Amino acid sequence: MNIEQLDFYTQAVLSLAALVGLTSFLMLGQGRVLRLIFVFAVQGLLLALTTAVAAYSMNIHHLYISAALTLILKVIFIPWMLRRLVLQMDMHRDVEALKNNSAVMLGGASLMVFSYYILHPIVQTSSLVMLNALAVSLSVMLLGMLLMISHRQAVAHVVGFMSIENGLFFAAVVATHGMPMVVELGVAFDVLIAAVLFGIFFFHIRTSIDSLDVDKLNRLSEVEK
Amino acid sequence: MIAAYLVLLIPLFGMAFFSLAGHRADSGLLNIRLNAVNLVATVWLAINVLREGTILSSGKAFLIDPFNVYLIVLTAFVGLTTAIFSAPYMEHEKEIGRLNDARLKLYHAMYQGFMLSMYLVLMTNNMGILWVAMEGATLATVLLVSLYRTPESVEAAWKYFILCGVGIAQALFGTILLYYAAEQVGSLENALLWSVLYENADKLNPEVLEIAFVFLLIGYGTKIGLVPLHNWLPDAHSEGPTPMSAVLSGLLLNDALYAVVRNKMLVDGASHSDMAGFLMMGFGLLSFLVGALFLHRQKDIKRLFSYSSIEHMGMMTFAFGIGGPLATFAALLHMTVHSLTKSAIFVTVGHASQLAGTQSMEKIRGLIKTQPEIGWGLLIGTVSIAGFPPFGVFTSEFLVLLATMHSYPWLAPLLLLGIGIAFAGLFRHIQPIVYGDKPEGQQPIKANLWPVMIHLGLVLWLGLAIPGFLADWFSQATILISGSAPL
């Protein structure tokens, strides 16, 4: 595949996919909460840009709405809300020392390879561009999960959760030119409610364990202590 | 079709009303009435479907066929009886100061919201909306799990939120792959509609669909509570209010399994291999055995029965995985009797733990001596869920075993072993609870056991003789899912 011979849309999607993947890795290695939220907003912006490019090149008007939704929700509202909560709870000074940072990064890299491996059968049915786009979105989802596993703070969990949603939106836009409008609206609505609920939960967790370190959420277990 | 819209509009109205009007003295009663009206609407809908066959609404947004209509009626029925139980139960919780007006308002609004999302899951024809409604059910119940605001309940709700949210994201990826496969075919309009996908299943790319099914099974499987994705389930059941446990076990798990079976129908149509069935059999059998073994280790009565739910959902997944007409019929029957029995059990468990003031099984003793109806209710419920004749659970488990012997005889001993282990696990805990000596000062409480009696009566009836119209109904659903009639 020679990238110079591809049309504008394909080139743009491939570059944006690479950048979206990169932001996932940046989030994975980030120990400071506020920077984590910032990188998450950047990923949202890239996603909105991808959607807009797809809408422009293929002349699908409803994708503009979906791009606008992403911009409002993922770039402005959720990062703003998380940032405000973090400052309010005076959490921004907690720098999380990541244990085994290099192992986590290597794990992330293998997850990306794994995504390509899983989706390889699709190559026979479609172009390499599609494989790249789908594999990157799957790896954004898996990296989001790894982020949730490797970080201890509740805020990092929320960012991981939302970045999984980013991966899903990326797949929907690039592979299928966007889901039907009613589904996109429904999913966006779910994400919005989830974000608000997360905000409520921060306060509950804070009052119940006096911190937002989810490692301390360990009262329930299979065996009575 | 009017009936179908009514079924969705009533809980929507209920949710709006409860969240705007706040908690009133008659909220519990109103909740019962709303659910009762909806039961009438669903029965009307079912009669329509029985007379006219599958209903597809004009915009193709809703699809009601024999497979989902019986689950819709079951949902309305369990919703109603649980509402009847929850009214005095919640009053008691308010009296002892565990809840206040604001939380009760949240509870009633979210109860209706949960019912709405359950109906939407069952009725929608759009695979995307199915996902949205399923996620909506998580969001509606997550605040209910943390209703008591104890550190344990907040932890359980957080776990539930994260695990189900992340899990179900996989299902959306699977749905996107499904849509992608449909778009490859080209010239398909509304390619995310189940009816369109099903008609064109043989044209879809089998490889893409098989990859999609793995994601769909893991995603919705988290909601079904399949091992090893079951971790949220016992916590959410044990820490949330008891009426919530009844509807979670009785309805939510069924609806998630419904979503998996719908997707399996598509994959089977496309691939002509048994891959989807084998995956479901494997996960199902694992959940069944692990659930049965973990029954022995429990200390909390609600955790005990939530592991029993995992075990039974495993058995249903396994039966749908085998996939022949007999196994499918058995799985459909098992879905019904399990919902009825499990919600009845959670109702009695709720009363029993209010009576003893604890959920710890070591401290709940002498139920029959204190308040015989609760003790007998729990005992008969346990007998039924353990699969004793003449209850309906026995019939469906027997049919599953029969189907297993027919298709995969070498798996039958494992099933028998699991049933035996589960039986032992349940009775060694329940026996001292019901027969033991009553602790000093334990007083009977006000309890409404009508829901329990009606549920267990129905399960008994289904065990003795399945009424003709219901058997017919199940047969039609079986033909739809497996392609041929069971008998």
DSSP assignment of chain A: --GGGS-HHHHHHHHHHHHHHHHHHHHHT--BHHHHHHHHHHHHHHHHHHHHHHHHHHT-THHHHHHHHHIIIIIIIHHHHHHHHHHHTT-TT-B---TTHHHHHHHHHHHHHHHHHHTGGGGGGS-HHHHHHHHHHHHHHHHHHHHHHH--BHHHHHHHHHHHHHHHHHHHHHHHSS--HHHHHHHHHHHHHHHHHHHHHHHHHHHHHSS-BGGG-----SS--
DSSP assignment of B278-308: HHHHHHHHHHHHHHHHHGGG--BHHHHHHHH
A183-187, B183-187, B350-354, range with the lowest pLDDT: B183-187
Per the CB < 8 Å rule, is B129 touching A183? Answer: yes
Coil, strand or helix at B396: helix
Q: Which residues are CB-contacts of A149 (< 8 A; sequence separation ≥ 6)?
A: none
Taking the CA of residue B448 and the nearest CA in chain A, the distance in Å comes to: 31
CA dihedral B180, B181, B184, B190 (to 10 degrees): -70
* Cβ–Cβ < 8 Å for A130, A100: no
Which amino acid is located at B126 in the chain?
N
Per the CB < 8 Å rule, is A186 touching B128? Answer: yes
- What mean pLDDT comes out for the span B425-442? 88
Is pLDDT at A123 greater than 80 in this prediction? no
Per the CB < 8 Å rule, is B143 touching A186? Answer: no
* Cβ–Cβ < 8 Å for B359, B353: yes
Is pLDDT at A225 greater than 50 in this prediction? no
- Alpha-carbon distance of B48 to B38, in angstroms, equals 15
- What mean pLDDT comes out for the span B99-118? 92
Per the CB < 8 Å rule, is A118 touching B150? Answer: no
With beta carbons under 8 A apart, name residues in chain B contacting A172.
176, 179
Per the CB < 8 Å rule, is B179 touching A118? Answer: no
Q: Which residue has the tokens 């695990």?
A: B163
Is pLDDT at B311 greater than 50 in this prediction? yes
With beta carbons under 8 A apart, name residues in chain B contacting A189.
132
Coil, strand or helix at B360: strand
DSSP assignment of B50-72: HHH--EE-TTS-BEE-HHHHHHH
User: DSSP letter at B249?
Assistant: I
Q: What digits encode the pLDDT tens for the residues B182-227?
A: 888 876 777 888 988 898 888 888 888 999 999 999 999 999 999 8
Taking the CA of residue B129 and the nearest CA in chain A, the distance in Å comes to: 6
Q: What digits encode the pLDDT tens for the residues B456-485?
A: 999 999 999 888 888 888 898 999 888 887
- What mean pLDDT comes out for the span B116-134? 93
Sign of CA dihedral B367, B371, B376, B381: negative
- Tell me whether 0.90 is exceeded by the ipTM: yes
Q: Specify the pLDDT at position A224.
A: 52
| Nearest residue to B102 via CA among B208, B10, B161, B19 | B19
Is pLDDT at B440 greater than 90 in this prediction? no
- Exposed, middle or buried, B9 (CB in 10 Å: 0-12/13-18/19+)? middle
Is pLDDT at A217 greater than 90 in this prediction? no
Q: Specify the pLDDT at position B187.
A: 67
Q: Nearest CB to B207: which of A121, A201, A222?
A: A121
- What mean pLDDT comes out for the span A78-82? 93
Taking the CA of residue A137 and the nearest CA in chain B, the distance in Å comes to: 9
Per the CB < 8 Å rule, is B139 touching A194? Answer: yes
- Exposed, middle or buried, B164 (CB in 10 Å: 0-12/13-18/19+)? buried
* Cβ–Cβ < 8 Å for B364, B334: no
Q: Quickly count: other Cβ atoms within 10 Å of residue B392's Cβ.
A: 26
Taking the CA of residue A187 and the nearest CA in chain B, the distance in Å comes to: 6
- What's this model's pTM, rounded to 2 decimal places? 0.93
With beta carbons under 8 A apart, name residues in chain A contacting B156.
220
Confidence band, pLDDT 50/70/90 cuts, at residue B150: confident
Per the CB < 8 Å rule, is A220 touching B156? Answer: yes
- Alpha-carbon distance of B429 to B362, in angstroms, equals 9
Is pLDDT at A52 greater than 50 in this prediction? yes
Per the CB < 8 Å rule, is A125 touching B205? Answer: yes
Q: Which two tokens stand for residue A162?
A: 């939302």
Q: Which residues are CB-contacts of B97 (< 8 A; sequence separation ≥ 6)?
A: none
Question: Mutate which of A157, A181, A190 to disrupt the B interface (most B C-beta within 10 Å)?
Answer: A190
Is pLDDT at A126 greater than 80 in this prediction? no
Q: What digits encode the pLDDT tens for the residues B230-289?
A: 889 999 988 889 899 889 888 999 999 999 999 999 998 888 788 899 999 999 999 999
- Alpha-carbon distance of A173 to A196, in angstroms, equals 25
Q: What percentage of chain B exceeds 70 in pLDDT? A: 99
With beta carbons under 8 A apart, name residues in chain B contacting A138.
173
- What mean pLDDT comes out for the span A55-80? 90
| Nearest residue to A13 via CA among A152, A115, A168, A129 | A129
Confidence band, pLDDT 50/70/90 cuts, at residue B437: confident
Q: Specify the pLDDT at position A1.
A: 58
| Phi, psi dihedral angles at A219 (to 5 degrees) | -75, -35
Is pLDDT at B100 greater than 50 in this prediction? yes
Alpha helices in B408-449 (DSSP H): 412-435
- Alpha-carbon distance of A50 to A68, in angstroms, equals 12
| Nearest residue to A168 via CA among A12, A44, A8 | A44
Per the CB < 8 Å rule, is A180 touching B205? Answer: no
Q: Specify the pLDDT at position A45.
A: 95
| Nearest residue to B238 via CA among B184, B168, B308, B172 | B308
Is pLDDT at B116 greater than 90 in this prediction? yes
Q: What digits encode the pLDDT tens for the residues B64-85?
A: 988 889 899 999 999 999 999 8
- Alpha-carbon distance of A40 to B136, in angstroms, equals 24
Size of interface A-B (CB pairs under 8 A): 128
User: DSSP letter at B409?
Assistant: G
With beta carbons under 8 A apart, name residues in chain B contacting A223.
297
* Cβ–Cβ < 8 Å for A131, A120: yes
Per the CB < 8 Å rule, is A209 touching B151? Answer: yes
Q: Quickly count: other Cβ atoms within 10 Å of residue B324's Cβ.
A: 18
- Alpha-carbon distance of B75 to B251, in angstroms, equals 6
Per the CB < 8 Å rule, is A122 touching B211? Answer: yes
- Alpha-carbon distance of B328 to B316, in angstroms, equals 9
Q: What digits encode the pLDDT tens for the residues B21-69?
A: 888 888 889 999 999 999 999 999 998 888 888 888 877 889 998 888 9
Residue of B nearest to A122 (CA): B208
Taking the CA of residue B473 and the nearest CA in chain A, the distance in Å comes to: 31
Per the CB < 8 Å rule, is B183 touching A177? Answer: yes
Q: What digits encode the pLDDT tens for the residues A128-184?
A: 777 888 899 999 999 999 998 888 888 888 999 999 999 999 998 888 877 888 888
| Nearest residue to A22 via CA among A108, A114, A146, A129 | A108
Confidence band, pLDDT 50/70/90 cuts, at residue B108: very high
Is pLDDT at B132 greater than 70 in this prediction? yes
Q: Nearest CB to A164: which of B129, B154, B169?
A: B169
